[in-house]
């Protein structure tokens, strides 16, 4: 496998300048509260008190609206299919997977951003997202994009606990946390934005070594959640990174005519996912007697089924709905961008992020794991 990595890195490094230029472009450039939407009923009686979310743009419902970063999406056409077409800061045309999961376990209709100053104590008590678009497990990743690190997200969670404790007391707060569902989704930016774009980590780590480094960061983060009382935790895999439209655009031999997935990047994701799955199984085994329910949320498999297996009837598999679909994301997908008439026919909303329909399908595939994590 190392020979495959070395052979592929030559081509990848030759394309780094383009990705580096794009990233510099991205970092050179009013959040409204969404209306209620219909609840999705769960097949089980989940005893979940709240949903707490950590990670990157796959789970950020608008925290980046409140910080000084260009990585925002609180403007059209983002939110095109959200209730009242509100661009909340979610990097999609509508809901994210964690919104569908919150409905499935019967807690709330959508998961709001923790940094939203208009949230009531009732909003807070049933869960919030601390995620920040552009973040990652590697501390260098959020520093590149000036977004909220996983360490800071954990600090915000501790602040959250203090706020809730002041309202309902120590005993009820501990019970709320113990019965809450914790969701973690990050890692793609560590590879696509950080490792493959900037030379800092490549000088110190091979890809297997960097994967090990990330797993240690995940261990530390998970231990931090555990120390705060988290017991029901789901951690998302990496997607098939070689199938992201922006990766195809940057690394294909002919980005217009040859838009197949770039196998090398997906191989990296497969290797990472296997190691992550083993790590989570080990955590579950070691902590099971203490009430742990730790699960692996596979997003790689469903996306491969959609894109390679051509399941679920999507018509556009390798470009986004916004603009050309080849490079547009964040401010490059803006009110002046053309938009496809029906995003539900697209796997991707922009050049990086899935559509609401894709998130819905993925969230349904998570349900057996969510059942395991949350069952009494």
CB atoms within 10 A of CB 38: 8
Task: Determine if the peptide bond prior to 77 is cis (ω within 30°).
Answer: yes
Strands 51-55 and 181-185 turn out to be parallel
Q: Which residues partner with 236 through β-bridges?
A: 297
Phi, psi of 285 (to 5 degrees): -65, -45
Sign of CA dihedral 342, 344, 347, 352: positive
Query: What token pair was written down for 335?
Result: 């009110």
Residue among 57, 149, 237, 266 flagged as catalytic: 57
Residue among 116, 350, 351, 363 flagged as catalytic: 350
**353: annotated active-site residue:** yes
- Name residues whose C-beta falls within 8 Å of residue 111's C-beta, 6 or more positions apart in sequence: 51, 53, 61, 96, 98, 99, 102, 127, 128, 129
Report how far residue 292's alpha carbon sits from residue 311's, in angstroms, rounded to the nearest whole number.
Answer: 34
**13: annotated active-site residue:** no
E-strand ranges in 231-286 read: 232-236
Q: Smallest Cα–Cα separation from 52: which of 152, 150, 184?
A: 184
CB atoms within 10 A of CB 252: 19
Residue among 132, 237, 319, 353 flagged as catalytic: 353
**23: annotated active-site residue:** no
Q: Is-contact 138 205, C-beta < 8 A?
A: no
SS3 content of the chain, % helix, strand, coil (to 5): 50, 10, 40
> What are the residue numbers of the active site?
57, 350, 353
């Amino acid at each position: 496998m190392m020979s495959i990595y070395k052979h592929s890195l030559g081509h990848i490094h030759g394309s780094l300048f383009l990705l580096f230029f794009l990233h510099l472009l991205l970092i050179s450039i009013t959040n409204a509260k969404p209306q209620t939407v219909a609840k999705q009923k769960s097949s089980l009686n989940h005893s979940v008190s709240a949903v707490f979310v950590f990670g990157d743009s796959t789970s950020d419902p608008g925290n980046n609206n409140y910080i000084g970063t260009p990585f925002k999406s609180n403007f059209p056409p983002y939110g095109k299919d959200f209730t009242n077409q509100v661009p909340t800061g979610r990097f999609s045309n509508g809901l994210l997977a964690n919104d569908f999961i919150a409905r499935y376990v019967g807690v709330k209709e959508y998961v709001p951003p923790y940094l939203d100053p208009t949230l009531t104590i009732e909003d807070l008590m049933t869960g919030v997202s601390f995620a920040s678009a552009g973040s990652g497990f590697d501390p260098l990743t959020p520093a590149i994009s000036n977004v909220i690190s996983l360490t800071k997200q954990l600090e915000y969670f501790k602040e959250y606990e203090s706020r809730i404790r002041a309202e309902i007391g120590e005993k009820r707060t501990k019970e709320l946390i113990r019965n809450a569902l914790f969701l973690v989704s990050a890692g793609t930016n560590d590879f696509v934005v950080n490792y493959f774009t900037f030379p800092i980590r490549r000088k110190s780590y091979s890809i297997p070594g960097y994967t090990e480094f990330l797993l240690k960061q995940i261990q530390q983060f998970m231990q931090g959640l555990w120390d705060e009382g988290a017991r029901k935790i789901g951690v998302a895999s990496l997607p098939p990174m070689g199938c992201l439209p922006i990766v195809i655009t940057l690394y294909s031999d002919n980005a217009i005519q040859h838009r197949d997935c770039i196998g090398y990047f997906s191989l990296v994701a497969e290797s990472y996912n296997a190691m992550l799955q083993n790590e989570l199984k080990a955590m579950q085994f070691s902590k099971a007697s203490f009430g742990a329910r730790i699960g692996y949320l596979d997003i790689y498999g469903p996306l491969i089924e959609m894109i390679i297996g051509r399941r679920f009837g999507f018509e556009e598999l390798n470009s986004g709905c916004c603009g050309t679909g080849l490079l547009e994301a964040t401010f490059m997908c803006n009110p002046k961008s053309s938009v496809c008439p029906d995003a539900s026919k697209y796997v991707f909303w922009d050049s990086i992020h899935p559509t609401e329909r894709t998130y819905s399908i993925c969230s349904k595939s998570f349900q057996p794991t969510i059942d395991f994590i949350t069952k009494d």
